[in-house]
Amino acid sequence: MNPYVFEPTRPVVQTKQGKLRGVTYGDVNIFMGVEYAHAKRFHMPEEIPSWEGIKDAYRHGPVAKQVLAPNTFSYYRGLHMLELESEDCQNLNIWAPKTLNGEKKAVFVWIHGGGFFGGNAFEEISFDGFNLAHHGDIIFVSINHRLNILAHMNLEDYGEEFKNSGNAGIADLVAAMKWIHENIAAFGGDPENVTICGHSGGGGKVQCLLQIEEAAPYFQRAICLSGARHATVYPINTQENSKAIAKAMLDDLGITKENIDKIYDVPFTDLIRVCKAHSNPLSWSPVPNDYFPGFPGDVGLMPFSKDKPVIFSTVLGEFTTNAGWMTGKTYPKYLTDEQIATHYRSGITEEAAMARIKETYGDRAQEVVDAYLKAYPTHEFKDLLYTTNRNNTMATTMANYGNANVFQCVQAYNMPYMGGTTAQHTAGDIPYWFRTIQHTDAKFMIYGDEECGLKVSNEMSQALVNFCYTGNPSQDGLEWNAFTVENGETMIWDRVSEVRGYHDKAYMELIAEIRAAQAAAK
């Protein structure tokens, strides 16, 4: 029997509001486009009403309205442009093991990236939850929610109904978590064993949920992948600033407090126009208030979350994509021979790489190389051209706030394509965590090194599954101890994965020292 076929009999589950019908593929039941809430524009989400009969749930629901075109560095990032966009985007997707064996399954909740302004729950093939449900025996849930203007426009001064409009997108996530808590048992999940996980902007959203008291009972642990909120990327939003931007936009639209009801009829294209005229769409983010006190790095970790186990993960290359932060040439759309020869690992010679390192670090270039190779001894020195300097900020912050269950890791495995590619933002870790590297459309990332690439993926995904079930990501033969300020223990996912304490501290301190000296000399 081929396990990877759709069964003719479709599974039906009873939720709080009514019955849902999904599909069964192999040994996994799949439910798509499941509504968890609805909301009037700029209002808080509300519980969906009950229904009679059976609702079909085997098609993707609409995705959030998008302000910007998709990122060009990923083919899959463009797929959401083919999907239906709607302001009514509060829906989620569920992959649940068909065989329950009378046991409640751990629940893994995926929150997509794209900052707080773009993306959706299925824009990349790596976001597919089938393999984790199948191999990991967990329930995988992914969430669509409001973004950008519709999620974070602070209209508090225009009426009580807009009291939390600056956090509407985060409130959607809280509503989704509540729905999961109330309904996931019907799919075989344990509502008291839920892990939230987000990548990039989704990691920022994970940090938001850690700070919101209403959300706290709905999850027990968290994973933040390349998503430690950083003020240089997302400037700290304030009540004052967010209100000023909202007023400028409404003034442009001819809307005042007296005629605020007109905001409901403004076409989204006009909202985009005034958004771009009066703000940076990239800076739209949650607004600190009574509902959301602020990010942990800004205001401290809320006491109701201090004991929740958390994983903080980065990748060695993050935003470099082998173009190197020193060149400033990230994500080139098309590669010329000159770019390959001078900027890309597959083309650059050791002599050229060293020359570029000397351009940046001067007579201390060899010190930098030696420190880098000590931190990553299985790598070539020219890989530091494509290394985004990570930091221990969030792990240290959480540990200092008294969380004894903080785990830190870095994906350092060089993918073999293009002559060896440093792990990069999104593509360099998600397919490994979710075991989607085995998909035909993603397997090019390990072509020529399949055995090792699959080994790294199996190690990472097993750590994720173990963390979901127990709060401890250790596995047989690969002990992963919690991070403390004293030990700095970090899991390094690589050809030979291992835990080391502050493995790259000397390298990072050296880089900081050189940059400070260079800045002072200017």
Which residues are CB-contacts of 345 (< 8 A; sequence separation ≥ 6)? 322, 382, 383, 385, 386, 418, 419, 420, 421, 422
In this prediction, residue 383 carries a pLDDT of: 87
In this prediction, residue 425 carries a pLDDT of: 80
The helix/strand/coil state of 421 is strand
pLDDT in tens, the chain (522 residues): 345 677 778 999 999 999 999 999 989 999 999 999 999 999 999 999 999 999 999 988 999 998 876 544 444 444 445 568 899 999 999 999 987 666 899 999 999 988 898 889 887 778 899 999 999 999 999 999 999 999 999 999 999 999 999 999 999 999 999 999 999 999 999 999 999 999 989 999 999 999 999 999 999 999 999 886 544 445 567 889 999 999 999 999 999 999 999 999 999 999 999 999 998 877 788 999 999 999 888 888 899 999 999 999 999 888 765 544 333 444 444 456 666 666 666 677 888 889 888 988 999 999 999 999 999 998 989 888 888 767 788 888 888 888 889 999 999 998 887 677 788 887 789 999 999 887 756 677 788 888 999 999 999 999 999 999 999 999 999 999 999 999 999 999 999 999 999 999 999 999 989 989 988 987
In this prediction, residue 317 carries a pLDDT of: 82
Q: Determine contact, residues 341/347, Cβ cutoff 8 Å.
A: yes
471: left (phi over 0), alpha (psi -120 to 50) or beta: left
Dist. CA 354–CA 363, nearest whole Å? 12
Backbone angles phi, psi at 118, to 5 degrees: -145, 180
Dist. CA 49–CA 36, nearest whole Å? 10
What is the set of domains in the chain, with CATH numbers?
A: 12-234+289-295 (3.40.50.1820), 239-283 (no CATH), 314-423+443-452+473-521 (no CATH)
In this prediction, residue 432 carries a pLDDT of: 93
Cα dihedral sign, 290-293-299-304: positive
Please state the length of the chain.
Answer: 522
CA torsion angle for 361, 337, 386, 356 (degrees, to 10)?
Answer: -10
Dist. CA 498–CA 472, nearest whole Å? 16
In this prediction, residue 1 carries a pLDDT of: 34
In this prediction, residue 441 carries a pLDDT of: 60
Look up residue 71 and give its DSSP letter: P
Helix spans in 223-322 (H): 239-253, 268-278, 296-299
Helix spans in 325-449 (H): 337-343, 350-361, 365-375, 393-400, 430-433
In this prediction, residue 227 carries a pLDDT of: 80
Angle ∠(448,439,319) on CA atoms, nearest 5: 75
In this prediction, residue 445 carries a pLDDT of: 76
